[in-house]
């Protein structure tokens, strides 16, 4: 059997994992939550959680990967035979996420193409987004292109694919996002009532803590929002970090790499806030800040860019290109989690594994696209969302299966095998692991409790 691939260096690993972590969540949800939940207050809570909750879960998954040298489908069984089924769930999750993430990736690509071909102004017309996603061929075409690009990179393998493209796309992404964030601080706009708002005022909305009217209830909402966001943002419980961890060399310093991944992801989320909150605030005031997700990215932001004239068209092209890079590196990671699982479990070649998952993913992605026309339906989910096929898949994977997987992982490591399983892996070259004590308490007690609350909340039960 061929020797397992590994990342050439820790930079490749850090950029690949950060590429997975930095995705749509950083851009279309983090800035919205921060401005909704009291600016700096949200940021401080998010940072504290990143250093405790996020750090514990990320360390656990990456260390499980490196220790077992297996992808999620086989790794859990290696840690404990009774947890074999957890591996199956950890492989089903990325199989559900990949198709709909590629559909959204296709939407991003369509907008990038529109802006780059100087047709950005059209995207601001009423009903543009709805007309696009309800049309028959366009969304499917863009989805297929997005999926083919992702599959091509994964087909090239760990070094010539994941590592190489992460090293190209991530620095580019960083340059583009810094460029837009700095630019957004320089803008100002006078609306029809004659009031002028500036980018710097928008920055204040994002970073200055707003304690006005703070109640225990509001504080707990902020806490839950920050936790849910962090959990998703670090690509936890998607099988990804286990499979990427399995490619890390034994001599590499895991603690150092994990710190860098967290810093990268948090810095990009912060830059996304610096970029989006001022732009939206300047052109749409506080009301504009009420939108997130597709509504923000595909309706409000294009309207703002179009109202800025030529500069807006350039800005739009740079923005959607940057989002496209973020989406591709995340989609790569989720496909790799599945492909490496198939390779490990069934002993098949990378080429075969990619072909199999490409076919399954393509079929499901087309169903997701058709969910907005031929297969349209609308059902209400327990969390209040009116769902089509895409939202249904998102709810089932994100809100139900992911928290359950993370809770089971905490039970496995915290209680069944013991935290030392991970601590020994992380310190096997005598690396210093100063948060060892914290890790033990987090994995045994605090993370499972927080995750149970997260599960009940995101499932819509409380």
Q: What is the contact surface with ligand PFF in residues (CB under 6 A)?
A: 20-21, 23-26, 97, 101, 232-233, 235, 330-331, 333-334
Alpha-helical regions (H) of 395-446: 402-410, 420-426, 436-441
CA distance 380 to 291: 20
Which residue number, 42 or 232, has a Cβ lying nearer to ligand PFF? 232
Residue nearest to ligand PFF (CB): 23
Give the nearest distance from C-beta 194 to ligand PFF in angstroms.
39
Q: Which long-range contacts (CB under 8 A, 24 or more apart) does 292-297 make?
A: 292/28, 292/29, 292/32, 292/33, 293/28, 293/29, 293/32, 294/28, 294/104, 294/107, 294/129, 296/28, 296/32, 297/24, 297/27, 297/28, 297/108, 297/323
- How far the first Cα of the chain sits from its last, in Å, is 49
Q: How far is the CB of 176 from ligand PFF (least distance, A)?
A: 17
Distance, in Å, from the CA atom of 410 to the CA atom of 449, rounded to the nearest integer, reads 10
How far is 31 from 24, CA to CA, in rounded Å? Answer: 11
Give residue for tokens 């286990």. Answer: 242
Query: What is the Cα–Cα distance from 347 to 404, expressed in whole angstroms?
Result: 28
Question: Looking at beta carbons only, is 25 or 278 nearer to ligand PFF?
Answer: 25
CA distance 112 to 146: 12
**What SS3 class is residue 386?**
strand
CB of 325 to ligand PFF, least distance (A): 12
Residue 38 is encoded by which pair of tokens? Answer: 């009291």
- Report the residue number, 111 or 283, with the smaller CB distance to ligand PFF: 111
Considering beta carbons, is residue 46 or 283 the nearer one to ligand PFF?
A: 46
Work out how close the CB of 440 gets to ligand PFF at its nearest, in angstroms, rounded to a whole number: 26
In the complex, least distance from residue 222 CB atom to ligand PFF, rounded to whole angstroms: 19
Give the shortest CB-363-to-ligand PFF separation in angstroms.
17
Q: Give the residue with the Cβ less far from ligand PFF, 25 or 38.
A: 25
In the complex, least distance from residue 53 CB atom to ligand PFF, rounded to whole angstroms: 15
Q: How many CB atoms lie within 10 A of CB 234?
A: 28
Give 121's DSSP letter.
G
Q: In this complex, which beta carbon is closest to ligand PFF, that of residue 317 or of residue 331?
A: 331
**CB nearer to ligand PFF: pick between 187 and 258:** 258
CB of 22 to ligand PFF, least distance (A): 7
Q: Give the pairing of strands 386-387 and 188-190.
A: unpaired
Nearer to ligand PFF, 181 or 331 (CB): 331
Question: Pick from 20, 98, 105, 100: which is nearest to 320 by CA?
Answer: 105
Check if the beta carbon of residue 110 is closer than 8 Å to that of residue 132: yes
* Spatial separation of the C-alpha atoms in residues 32 and 79, rounded to whole Å: 39
Q: Which of 79, 276, 71 is nearest to 187 (CA)?
A: 276
Residues contacting 264, CB < 8 A, separation 6+: 14, 15, 18, 21, 22, 170
Q: How far is the CB of 449 from ligand PFF (least distance, A)?
A: 23
Q: How far is the CB of 368 from ligand PFF (least distance, A)?
A: 14
Contacts of 100 (CB under 8 A, 6+ apart): 364, 365, 368, 389, 390, 393, 394
Q: Cα(424)–Cα(350) distance, rounded to whole angstroms?
A: 31
101 versus 305: smaller Cβ distance to ligand PFF: 101
Q: Closest approach of Cβ 445 to ligand PFF, in Å?
A: 26
φ, ψ dihedrals at 29, nearest 5°: -120, -40
Burial class (CB in 10 A: 0-12, 13-18, 19+), 107: buried
CB of 398 to ligand PFF, least distance (A): 9
């Amino acid at each position: 059997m061929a020797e397992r691939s590994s990342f050439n260096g820790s930079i490749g690993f850090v950029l690949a994992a950060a590429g997975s972590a930095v995705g749509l969540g950083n851009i279309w949800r983090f800035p919205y939550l921060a401005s909704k939940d009291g600016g700096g207050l949200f940021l401080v809570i998010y940072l504290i959680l990143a250093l405790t909750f996020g750090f514990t879960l990320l360390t656990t998954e990456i260390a499980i990967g490196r220790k077992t040298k297996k992808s999620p489908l086989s790794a859990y069984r290696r840690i404990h035979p009774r947890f074999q089924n957890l591996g199956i769930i950890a492989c089903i999750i990325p199989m559900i996420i990949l198709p709909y993430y590629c559909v959204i990736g296709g939407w991003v690509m369509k907008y990038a193409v529109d802006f780059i071909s100087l047709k950005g102004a059209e995207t601001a017309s009423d009903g543009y987004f709805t007309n696009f996603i309800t049309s028959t061929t366009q969304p499917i075409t863009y989805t297929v292109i997005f999926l083919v690009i992702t599959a091509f990179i994964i087909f090239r393998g760990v070094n010539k694919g994941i590592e190489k493209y992460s090293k190209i796309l991530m620095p580019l992404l960083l340059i583009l996002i810094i460029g837009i964030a700095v630019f957004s601080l320089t803008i100002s706009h006078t609306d029809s009532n004659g009031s002028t708002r500036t980018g710097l005022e928008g920055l204040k909305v994002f970073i200055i803590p707003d304690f006005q009217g703070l109640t225990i209830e509001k504080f707990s909402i902020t806490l839950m929002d920050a936790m849910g966001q962090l959990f998703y943002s670090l690509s936890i419980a998607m099988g990804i970090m286990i499979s990427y961890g399995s490619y890390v060399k034994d001599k590499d310093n895991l603690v150092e790499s994990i710190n860098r991944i967290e810093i990268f992801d948090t810095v990009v989320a912060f830059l996304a806030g610096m970029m989006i909150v001022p732009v939206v605030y300047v052109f749409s005031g506080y009301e504009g800040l009420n939108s997130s997700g597709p509504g923000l990215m595909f309706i409000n932001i294009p309207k703002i860019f179009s109202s800025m004239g030529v500069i807006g068209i350039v800005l739009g092209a740079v923005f959607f290109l940057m989002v496209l890079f973020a989406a591709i590196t995340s989609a790569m990671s989720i496909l790799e989690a599945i492909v490496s699982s198939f390779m490990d479990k069934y002993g098949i070649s990378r080429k075969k594994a990619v072909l199999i998952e490409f076919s399954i993913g393509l079929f499901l992605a087309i169903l997701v696209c058709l969910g907005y026309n031929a297969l349209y339906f609308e059902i209400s989910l327990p969390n209040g969302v009116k769902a089509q096929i895409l939202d249904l898949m998102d709810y089932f994977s994100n809100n139900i299966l992911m928290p359950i997987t993370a809770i089971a992982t905490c039970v496995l490591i915290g209680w069944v095998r013991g935290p030392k399983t991970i601590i020994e892996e992380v310190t096997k070259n005598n690396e210093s692991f100063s948060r060892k004590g914290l890790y033990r308490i987090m994995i045994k007690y605090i993370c499972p409790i927080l995750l149970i609350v997260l599960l009940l909340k995101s499932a819509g039960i409380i």
